[in-house]
Each structure stands twice: as structure tokens, then as C-alpha cells.
Amino acid sequence: MSRRNESAANRPSRPCVAAVGLVLLVMLALLPAPDAAHAVVGGDPARNVTLKAVVNLDGCTGTLVAVDQVLTAAHCVGNLSELPTILGRRAIRASIHPRYTDSSTRRSYRHGDERGDLALLGLNEPLRGVKPLAVIGAGDRSATRPGDRVHLVGFGFTRYRRAEPGGRRRVALRVLPDTRCDTVWRARGGEFQRAWEPRSMFCTRDADGLKPFRAACNGDSGAPLLVRRREKWVVVGVESWGRQCGQAGDPGVATQLPDPFLARRAPVWAPAPLPGDVRIDGNPEVGATLTCVTPGWTEKPERVEYRWLVNRAGGQVVTEQPQYVVPEADRGRVVSCVAIASNDGGRAQSPVSARAHVR
């Protein structure tokens, strides 16, 4: 289940390939091919009409949880100006869990910062004809006790390290005891051990425990973990990360629900850049004051940070003001600017402005 399938380097992998960060580079490690396993890896087509609420996010998976909201993993939400189209509706806004710290949405990313890997996408108009799935509520008993059977539904690859999307597929998994997950990730060490947080995550493994192992894979990030309650499917977790699509027997890791992030009366939507060009006002000459001007934001930011980019050593100037006084060191060089806006719903970057040549 891997956005970053792993080599000998100890790095937790995630099941999404398509999320675009500000600085995060996503690479697939070159690994010897394991024995082929068939299927989300190893699942079956999910044809139940109720499961049409599980939607393809072009490299990740999401769940319609309201007629105009889709639940997914935070690491699936990269540049907020490039959100996906979902069953004919455009995602126009996003809300990111406040604990999540990926570079594409918040602060500098480190492996091991998988906590709070939840996000909501807001659609431009309600999606009719598809019934949203319920999310487990704060008052419900935990549905992820050790030994419980859960169902993962996703659009991921059907073979490890092979780009073979299989449509919407379902696989039965078993919840593992936290102590077992502790043992696995401690043995893997490094960033796997740091990534694992039992109070906000749970582990799953192939329900029968036999090879070939069934598990989430690339494209299954954000997929729901479901249980049946009163003849209805209920979301109890969101697929987050793992190692090698589970083919070495390692468990998959999901974000535990319920979570206070989803208990808000209304999402706090992150600011996203409005359409239009970012420009630099002012004469580009030494001693002049330049101003970075953006078209604006979809939501009111709590903070806007401006970065002036100069083609020289140490050529990035970060300021909370849109103005930049051109120093002598910039003479004959090229400058451009970008704005980064944030609030409690997340963080987004504007396009980079056209370049200005300093005289």
C-alpha cells in the first residue's frame, strides 16, 4: 500500500501516488519483485450499490460522507489549486486535520509525521444519486478491537509495484492488537517506529493470514475501513500508510475514527488561490520596493507568508509582508514571488509570479 514503496531505507510508505506537495518528492524504490499477488492487492470487485460512495481521487481513494463532502487522507491533498474532479463534481476546497504536518499542506515534512492523516474535500455542488456513508460517532463503541473484521474498499493497484488499477475493490482484513503492531514497527525501526502511534491509528492484516497476502496498495490511500452496523456500512478508519503493499506480511495502518476533526459542526476550509496570475508591482531596480500581488483566496487566511525568489546563493527571502526592497546583490538578477496562506483548515500556495529582471 505504498505511495513510497520502500527499499532497505526505513521509511513508512503510503498507498497514494498522486498527491502533489510544495517540496515533497515522491519516489518508488527499486525493489526485487515479490511473488505476484492478485487483487486492492487480493480483493474482489465491490459492486454493492451502497459502496458507490467510495470514489476514485486520481491516485487516492475517498468516501462521500455528505452530499458535498469527501473524506480522504491528508497526504492525498497536495496543491489546493489542483484538487480532483469526483463523479463530475469539482473539489474546490479542502480541510486538513490540524495535527497533520505534510509539506504540501502545512509545515516542513518529516517521515514519521503521519499523525492526523485526515482531510475533507468540499465539492462545488451536491452529488445527487449516491448515498453518503456514515462515519462512526464519538458515542459509538470502538469497532476496531483486536480480531474484528473490517472491509477496505479502494481503487488501488491490484499487484504490488505494477500500475494495474482494478476499479473499486473490497478486501476483508482483521484488526491486530496494538502490541503486535508495536512489535512489527519496532523491529522495522527508524521512521516506521516513529510513524506508529497507537492512540490515533490501528493496524490491519489479511483476514486469513495466508500468502498471497491481501492488502491496500498504491491508490488506496484515503480508502475507508468499514464495518456493518444495523445492516449499514459505517466508516471506522481511513487508510494511511504501510510497507510494500503488505507483501512481506507487514500490516497496513489506518487513522482511527471517531476523531474530533470530523465532529466539528462545519469544516474549517483552507484558503485556496483564486484563479488569476500573481504579479509583481513596482520598478525592478536596486533600491526600489516591489509588491507581490495575488488574486486572492477562497477563504480568509489567518496568515499569509511571502517568498521572494532570487537566482543567487541563499536566494529565498521569507517575509510576512508583500513588499520587498531590492538590494544591490540582486542587480542583474531575476526575482519572482509566491504567497502561502494558512488557517486552521490548512495551507496553500499561490502560483509563482512572472519573473522580473532587476536593473
Q: How far apart are CA 250 and CA 5, in angstroms?
A: 13
> Are 189 and 72 contained in the same domain?
yes
> Are 256 and 110 contained in the same domain?
yes
**CATH code, domain carrying 233:** 2.40.10.10
More confident residue, 2 or 79: 79
Total domains in the chain come to 2
Q: How far apart are CA 17 and CA 237, in angstroms?
A: 20
Q: Is the pLDDT assigned to residue 28 strictly greater than 50? A: no
> Are 104 and 206 contained in the same domain?
yes
**Distance between first and last Cα of the chain:** 52
Give the pLDDT of residue 45.
58
Q: Give the tens place of pLDDT for each residue, 116-136.
A: 999 999 999 999 999 999 999
Kindly report the three-state secondary structure assignment for every residue of 228-248.
Answer: EECCEEEEEEEEEEECHHHCC
> Are 221 and 107 contained in the same domain?
yes
- Whether 244 and 84 have beta carbons less than 8 Å apart is answered as no
Domain that includes residue 187, residue range: 44-263
Average pLDDT for the chain: 82
**CATH code, domain carrying 290:** 2.60.40.10
Is 13 a domain residue? no
Q: What is the pTM of this model?
A: 0.81
CA 134, 166, 205, 100 dihedral sign is negative
Q: What is the mean pLDDT of residues 260-285?
A: 93
